[in-house]
Amino acid sequence: MTRSIRGSLLLALAVSLAPFAARAATLEDFKIQTTQDFVDLCSTAADDPLYDDAVNFCHGYASGAWQYHQAQANGPRGHRIVCPTPSEANPRRAELIAEFVAWSAGHPEHMTEPAVETLFRFLVEKWPCSQAAAPERKEGAK
């Protein structure tokens, strides 16, 4: 199955499940103290008064977490924990977030954990680094 078809199917699944999974966003969700807060923001119903703010915050949070990983992984003591293939290196943010929300529904044990940890648990599962793909640590790096 091609990536675009798979992505479209996952997005369609997420949208079809949205009426069942979508919750009203609360101002407390924006503190993102848990994975549940993050999932609530990312799956806010389109008719929610906070929808635009919630979805934009969700995308910004995910993008910031990814940018931090990229910066630290490319630094002098960098260590990559997520290794998408070159063709997957720039996925559509909305599709990836929809995949994460769907994945999180099957992993309720992580809903009380910090959101960034659960997000990267998902990403590591999706794009694990093999020993060959992971960059070697520089001499003297800890």
4-52 pLDDT tens trace: 444 444 444 444 444 335 567 888 889 899 999 999 999 999 999 999 9
Distance from the Cα of residue 46 to its chain's centroid? 20
pLDDT of residue 128 exceeding 70, the answer is yes
The per-residue pLDDT for 77 is 86
More confident residue, 29 or 1: 29
Q: Cα 37 to chain center, whole Å?
A: 13
Residue 140 has pLDDT above 90, yes or no: no
pLDDT for 21 equals 53
For 69-109, the pLDDT digits (tens) are 989 898 888 888 999 877 776 678 899 999 999 999 999 99
d(CA 50, CA 12): 22
pLDDT of residue 35: 96
Reading the block at residue 53, the tokens are 């703010």
SS3 state at 38? helix
pLDDT surpasses 90 at 111:
yes
Structure tokens at 118: 């659960």
- Whether the per-residue pLDDT at 142 is higher than 90: the answer is no
What per-residue confidence (pLDDT) applies to 13?
A: 41
